[in-house]
């Protein structure tokens, strides 16, 4: 008898099987992953595999995101939103009887592990597309691997410029506005509405931070303003205090902090304890719900750009449907309320968009046809949320909403 090929998992990667409950109901790390996989295997025997991740029973999607480490909630929440959309559809019968499944691999928000996860998806060729990546430095390693393997990469949780180069990455589908859009909105508000003009920046020293730094320079140049002080810190670190001390020597009105909620909250709290009264600008990547919980003194001077509507809105049809679709187990949460945030909502929109594309594809379930339909220029309506891809582009939204932690 011919031995069955064993599926390869990258060294150091943890697998999170979708469409199953992960044991443990707290949001701090992943509990009993081996047990979760056993339960999933018993509940869902592996179907005969098609080379594109499509079988008679299911359509399988891959995901590489951070489910451990200081920024794990970004991955957990994004995944929870995707699963909410998928399971909502699965309960209604799926796509022509096929259920949607999500195979999630942990990359810890580290580029090397993200690259290994992408190489695993390419080598095994058992997923139809990869969706829901988290972060710029990880996407920078994932996107080229998937491009070479002709695997679509849909809805990465980043506004990085390089992913919007359609000629370079025709396999990428962006559903959110660019970081440049966020930074321009933020700078215009601070200069025009608040009357501030002395800017500094503390940024994560990787492709994410450096990309946004360039965007910041562009936004300030439009007002003939320079960056008066800048400093950087490492990714996935809490050692961020030195940067604030360095820029505090400049007489600043406002600082842009380019990082995740863990690092940004520490900088904001230290700034307040030292008596600084800066306008503090944060981008959507920060996960405002977590930032709000970790910041000791919430204020209208702490700004956050968002790229989707308010998930708590009662006037938004898609927000109401999102809240109804959530289940605590999708995000290892103690309650649904924990998952009602912008990141999970963005994941839900991603899941709904993938479903919409699949429904428009008809019976031709190929990766090439998926990308053709996904990037077609016709406006797509998901309840009352719209996405539109101008010809020759791969970005479907420029929506920006400016909020503050004093609201």
Instruction: Single out the residue of 149, 156, 154, 153 nearest to residue 122, CA to CA.
Output: 149
Which pair of tokens denotes residue 135? 């972060």
- What's the confidence (pLDDT) of residue 246? 83
- What's the confidence (pLDDT) of residue 8? 58
3-state secondary structure of 304: strand
Sign of CA dihedral 337, 343, 347, 352: positive
Sign of CA dihedral 37, 39, 42, 43: negative
Q: Which residue ranges make up each domain of the chain? A: 58-177+316-399, 179-306
Beta strand 58-65 pairing with 99-106 = parallel
Using CA atoms, how far apart are residues 104 and 317, in angstroms rounded to an integer?
28
Using CA atoms, how far apart are residues 100 and 109, in angstroms rounded to an integer?
25
Count of other CB atoms within 10 angstroms of residue 362:
10
First to last CA, the chain: 65
Which pair of tokens denotes residue 2? 């011919």
Sign of CA dihedral 104, 105, 108, 109: negative
Using CA atoms, how far apart are residues 286 and 179, in angstroms rounded to an integer?
12
H-helix or E-strand containing 58?
A: strand 58-65
- What's the confidence (pLDDT) of residue 48? 36
CATH superfamily of 179-306: Response regulator (3.40.50.2300)
Using CA atoms, how far apart are residues 336 and 19, in angstroms rounded to an integer?
17
pTM (2 d.p.): 0.88
Helices and strands in the chain, H and E counts: 13, 14
pLDDT tens, per residue, the chain with 407 residues: 444 444 555 655 565 555 533 322 223 333 333 333 333 333 344 433 345 899 999 999 999 999 999 889 999 999 999 999 999 999 999 999 999 999 999 999 999 999 999 999 999 989 999 999 999 999 999 999 999 999 999 999 999 999 999 999 999 999 999 999 999 999 999 999 999 999 999 999 999 999 999 999 999 999 999 999 999 888 766 667 777 888 888 999 999 999 888 889 989 998 998 889 999 999 999 989 889 999 999 999 999 999 999 999 999 999 999 999 999 999 988 899 999 999 999 999 999 999 999 999 988 899 999 999 999 999 999 999 999 999 999 999 999 999 999 98
Sign of CA dihedral 74, 76, 355, 91: negative
H-helix or E-strand containing 15?
A: strand 15-17
Q: 58-177+316-399: which CATH topology?
A: Rossmann fold (3.40.50)
Using CA atoms, how far apart are residues 54 and 403, in angstroms rounded to an integer?
41
Using CA atoms, how far apart are residues 67 and 14, in angstroms rounded to an integer?
9
- What's the confidence (pLDDT) of residue 41? 34
- What's the confidence (pLDDT) of residue 138? 97
Render 219-255 in DSSP notation, one character per residue: HHHTTT--EEEEEEE-TT-S--HHHHHHHTTS--SEE
Using CA atoms, how far apart are residues 383 and 78, in angstroms rounded to an integer?
20
């Amino acid at each position: 008898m011919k031995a069955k090929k064993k599926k390869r998992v990258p060294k150091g990667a943890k697998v999170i099987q979708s469409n199953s409950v992960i044991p443990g109901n707290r949001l701090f790390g992943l509990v009993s992953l081996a047990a979760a996989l056993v339960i999933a295997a018993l509940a869902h025997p592996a179907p005969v595999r098609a080379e594109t991740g499509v079988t008679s029973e299911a359509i399988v999607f891959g995901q590489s995101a951070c489910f451990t480490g200081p920024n794990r909630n970004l991955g957990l929440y994004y995944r929870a939103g995707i699963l909410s959309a998928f399971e909502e559809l699965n309960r209604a019968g799926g796509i022509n009887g096929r259920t949607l499944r999500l195979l999630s691999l942990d990359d810890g928000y580290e580029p090397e592990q993200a690259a290994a996860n992408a190489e695993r998806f390419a080598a095994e060729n058992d997923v139809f597309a990869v969706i829901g990546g988290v972060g710029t430095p990880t996407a920078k390693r994932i996107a080229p691997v998937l491009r070479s393997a002709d695997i679509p990469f849909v809805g990465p949780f980043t506004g990085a410029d390089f992913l919007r180069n359609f000629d370079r990455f025709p396999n990428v589908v962006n559903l959110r506005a660019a970081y440049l859009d966020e930074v321009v909105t933020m700078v215009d508000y601070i200069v025009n509405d608040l009357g501030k003009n002395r800017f500094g920046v503390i940024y994560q020293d990787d492709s994410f931070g450096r990309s946004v730094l360039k965007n910041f320079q562009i936004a300030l140049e439009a007002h003939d303003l320079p960056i008066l002080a800048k400093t950087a810190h490492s990714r996935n670190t809490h050692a961020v205090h030195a940067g604030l001390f360095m820029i505090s020597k400049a007489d600043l009105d406002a600082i842009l902090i380019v990082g995740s909620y863990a690092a940004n909250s520490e900088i904001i709290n230290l700034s307040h304890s030292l008596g600084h009264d800066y306008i503090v600008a944060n981008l959507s990547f920060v996960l405002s719900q977590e930032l709000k919980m970790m910041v000791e003194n919430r204020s209208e001077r702490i700004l956050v750009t968002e790229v989707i509507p308010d998930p708590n809105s009662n006037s938004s049809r898609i927000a109401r449907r999102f809240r109804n679709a959530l289940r605590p187990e999708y995000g290892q949460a103690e309650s649904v309320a924990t998952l009602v945030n912008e990141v999970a909502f963005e994941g839900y929109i991603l899941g709904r968009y993938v479903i919409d594309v699949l429904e428009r594809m008809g019976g031709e379930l190929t990766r090439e046809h998926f990308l053709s339909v996904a990037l077609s220029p016709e406006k797509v309506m998901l309840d009352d949320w719209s996405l539109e891809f101008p010809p020759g582009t791969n970005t479907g939204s420029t929506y920006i909403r400016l909020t503050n932690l004093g609201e």
